[in-house]
Structure 1
Amino acid sequence: MSLLTPYRSRTLDLPNRIAMAPMTRLRSEPDGSPTADVVEYYRQRSGAGLIVTEGMWPHSSGQSEARVPGLATDRHERAWARVVDAVHAEGGRIIAQLMHGGRKGHPAARIDGSVPAGPSAIPDGDVLHLLDGSKAAWPRPAAMSIGDITAAVDQYAAAARRARAAGFDGVELHGANSYLIHQFLADNTNLRDDRYGGSSANRMRFALEVVDAVTDAIGAERTAIRLSPGNPQFSMVERDPAALYRGLVDELSRRGLMYLHLTDNDDYAALTDLRPRYAGSVIANVGENRAPTSVTAAERALRDGADLVSFGRAFIANPDLVERIRRSLPLSAIREDVLYGPTAEGYTDYPCAASVVRSSR
């Protein structure tokens, strides 16, 4: 078995085992609608066995930064449908990632000017992009009320229905990398003493409520989730991730989801520990907080039990990544100075290997 081996399961039918990881690029319009450049960006990468989009906010109260895309309005839905159509026309498959910022956000970064809210009133501590093009520190968030939590669950489900209406092949819930679902799971961002905090069972309650609401809306076979057990990004703390995530993965396994997208960690070998507990398809991400995923590292993850492996930075700089792997061609590196920004530079202008070869003759 290799990265180029087709993969078929109860929920997936893919020509290879190479997934494109979700990556924030900040190329949307100020209202969160993807631009024509976004259409071209995903079209170029349609050779992936599966594309997972950058995270989209399911409601304006979950917008984490300026120019992060949304999937909450009719305009968003129509714009994303153009992306989906372009990918499908190339024979690709594309999943919408739903990403609620929770405590991550700023009134000057959000189209509705709202104050961010998370499980507890604990600030993020990093900086973010504002609508005027400047950056600022994340402010102190509010603590979500029970009503806020219920509304957020409903917002995920509503966005999932929009994703299906736009033609997406499914939805991935972002439960990783310090976003809202992860905030409920982690020790230092969830200090609640109600039914959403304290014990592991309570900490995982929000994640499971969101999963159940989305599966009710679009079906379990179209619903997936991404988790990053023990990920310390953005000051997240999970002192004993195994104790919580084993229980969470057991629950998820019973739900018959499309797949589990699992990020490995140097301090907690999540793939090794959790893969045997999950009955369905698993996508491994082994490059988070590490060097960019190499072909060697990806094939090792397949041997360790993953069904697919997601590549992030390699897909940014190599729109034809699958073909480069097929032909054992060298990979280009990303240009860090234009990783984020409103233009096509550093976004859709990375050449394919074939064009590089032609231009060198």
Structure 2
Amino acid sequence: MADVPAHAPLFKELKLGRITAPNRIVMAPLTRARSTPGENVQTDLHAVYYSQRAGAGLVITEATNISRQGQGYAWTPGIFSDAQVDGWKPVTDAVHAAGGRIFCQLWHVGAISHNVFHDGAAPVSSSVWTPKGEAFVGDLHPDGPTVAHPEARALSLDEIAGVIEDYRHAAKCADKAGFDGVEFHGANGYLIDQFLRSSVNSRDDAYGGSVENRVRLLVEGVDAVIDVLGADRVGVRLSPAGGAGGSKDENPMETYVAAAKALSGKGLAYLHVVRSGDPENAKVVDAMRKAFDGPFIVNGGFTPEEAAQWIEDGRADAVAFGKLYIANPDLTKRIAMDGPYNDPNPDTFYGGGAKGYTDYPIMDGTAQAAE
């Protein structure tokens, strides 16, 4: 009997809601900070970048702001204005022309922000909170490109209702822009996670206290997006490990398994979970897998070999790759050929133009470049 290729599990088809992915190699959402200043619009350069990577079973876009209030990093794109919709259309067209499938990741950073993005107003969160670390403000602040996070204020109940409507509006805009679906960003210490995590959420109303209350905004936001697109065009991302700003949860097994259960039964396209290297975190991820009733995508420093093993073992249905996709636009081909792989250049991760974005070599040794 012939040996089965080590990466074979990664090259099986997978149904993800309304789409059928030809492989189980997902392009993870990757902030690259190259949208136009001010309007936060995508350009023709983004169409090149994403279409180069259309061989992925699914492309998930960089995190994309659902509103002006949702922005917390310089030069990140939005999906709430007509100009932004028009900027994304050439991207989705290019990916589809290359045979790919693309979801837009809907993002509200919450407290991981700075007043410069909000006309001087304080960022918002589940509760009053000052995140650790610094905000990436680019050239918007004289002390930039990074400055300390200011104190965020707590959202009122009326404002929470407004945030949910912002998610609904962003989903409509994503549909107009031609996306196959959206990924609801509930991970990495951003706004939704700031409601989930006990270290941030100190509310005493319907959105705080018990796990059921802390999960409420996640569920209501996802339901609003489902109302627009249908559940089979909606994925969700969660991360039980620590997040931006130093946030954490005292009992991630309880909180994130409850979140996974709350998302079950809706017919979602998938649940996308970020792992860490902590063995206890792996237990939480495995428990979330068992608690969720749909396709399960994992992300977090996987090698192709480990990714194939997780799928073979039933721990995941697909694996999302981040840095490997930055440096290897033809990653699916490279995995099938067992490498070699380009090394990413961290100096060009954030901001800039084509350098370190669309000019990484493909397997034949040439570069796909856009000046």
Equivalent residue number for residue 41 of structure 2: 33
Return closer, same or farther for 1:232/1:72 CA change in 2, 3 Å cut-off.
closer
Post-superposition Cα deviations, 1:34-57, rounded to whole Å, max 9, x if no partner, equal 122211110110111100000111
SS of the residue 1:139 aligns to: coil
* Counterpart AA for 1:69: P
Kept after mapping to 2: 8 A contact 1:61/1:112:
no
Q: CA deviation at 1:344?
A: 1.5
* Counterpart AA for 2:26: A
Provide the rounded CA distance (Å) in 1 between the counterparts of 2:15 and 2:241: 30
Gaps of 5+ in 1: 288-292
Q: Kindly report the root-mean-square deviation, in angstroms, between the aligned alpha carbons of the 2 structures.
A: 1.5
Kept after mapping to 2: 8 A contact 1:171/1:224:
yes
Kept after mapping to 2: 8 A contact 1:284/1:301:
no
Equivalent residue number for residue 290 of structure 1: none
SS of the residue 1:283 aligns to: strand
Give the number of aligned pairs. 351
Q: Aligned pair 1:49/2:57, yes or no?
A: yes
Provide the rounded CA distance (Å) in 2 between the counterparts of 1:112 and 1:307: 43
Kept after mapping to 2: 8 A contact 1:45/1:315:
yes
Q: TM-score, normalised by structure 1?
A: 0.94
Equivalent residue number for residue 268 of structure 1: 281
Q: CA deviation at 1:80?
A: 0.5
Equivalent residue number for residue 353 of structure 1: 363
Q: In terms of mean alpha carbon deviation, does 94-103 or 338-347 score higher?
A: 338-347
Q: CA deviation at 1:104?
A: 1.5
Kept after mapping to 2: 8 A contact 1:4/1:15:
yes
Post-superposition Cα deviations, 1:95-138, rounded to whole Å, max 9, x if no partner, equal 00001011121122x26554210001111122122252622111
Q: In terms of mean alpha carbon deviation, does 70-79 or 138-147 score higher?
A: 138-147
Kept after mapping to 1: 8 A contact 2:17/2:233:
no
Gaps of 5+ in 2: 1-7
Equivalent residue number for residue 295 of structure 1: 304
Post-superposition Cα deviations, 1:209-250, rounded to whole Å, max 9, x if no partner, equal 101111111111111100001334430111211112222211
Q: In terms of mean alpha carbon deviation, does 84-93 or 38-47 score higher?
A: 38-47
Runs (4+) of structure 1 exceeding 4 A deviation are none
Q: CA deviation at 1:356?
A: 4.7
Q: In terms of mean alpha carbon deviation, does 294-303 or 22-31 score higher?
A: 294-303
SS of the residue 1:60 aligns to: coil
Percent identity of equivalent pairs: 40
Kept after mapping to 2: 8 A contact 1:196/1:205:
yes
Provide the rounded CA distance (Å) in 1 between the counterparts of 2:17 and 2:232: 8
Equivalent residue number for residue 147 of structure 1: 158
Equivalent residue number for residue 23 of structure 2: 16
SS of the residue 2:355 aligns to: coil
Provide the rounded CA distance (Å) in 2 between the counterparts of 1:226 and 1:97: 9
Equivalent residue number for residue 127 of structure 2: 120
Instruction: Report 1:302-313 matches (<5 A).
Output: 302=311, 303-313=313-323
Q: CA deviation at 1:328?
A: 1.4
Which of 281, 286, 301 is equivalent to 2:300?
286
Provide the rounded CA distance (Å) in 1 between the counterparts of 2:270 and 2:93: 23
Q: In terms of mean alpha carbon deviation, does 259-268 or 194-203 score higher?
A: 259-268
SS of the residue 1:23 aligns to: coil
Provide the rounded CA distance (Å) in 2 between the counterparts of 1:10 and 1:58: 23
Post-superposition Cα deviations, 1:300-330, rounded to whole Å, max 9, x if no partner, equal 2212421110000000000000010111121
Which of 310, 334, 339 is equivalent to 1:324?
334
Which of 179, 187, 205 is equivalent to 1:176?
187
Provide the rounded CA distance (Å) in 1 between the counterparts of 2:115 and 2:243: 25
Provide the rounded CA distance (Å) in 1 between the counterparts of 2:291 and 2:125: 29
Provide the rounded CA distance (Å) in 2 between the counterparts of 1:28 and 1:111: 18
Kept after mapping to 2: 8 A contact 1:169/1:222:
yes
Q: CA deviation at 1:342?
A: 2.5
Q: Aligned pair 1:187/2:195, yes or no?
A: no
Q: Aligned pair 1:259/2:270, yes or no?
A: yes
Provide the rounded CA distance (Å) in 2 between the counterparts of 1:151 and 1:350: 41
Post-superposition Cα deviations, 1:135-184, rounded to whole Å, max 9, x if no partner, equal 21111111111111110000011000110111100010111101111110
Q: In terms of mean alpha carbon deviation, does 162-171 or 340-349 score higher?
A: 340-349
Kept after mapping to 1: 8 A contact 2:195/2:208:
yes
Equivalent residue number for residue 62 of structure 1: 70
* Counterpart AA for 2:288: L
Which of 68, 72, 86 is equivalent to 2:80?
72
Equivalent residue number for residue 3 of structure 2: none
Provide the rounded CA distance (Å) in 1 between the counterparts of 2:17 and 2:150: 44
Kept after mapping to 1: 8 A contact 2:16/2:269:
no
Provide the rounded CA distance (Å) in 1 between the counterparts of 2:181 and 2:332: 22
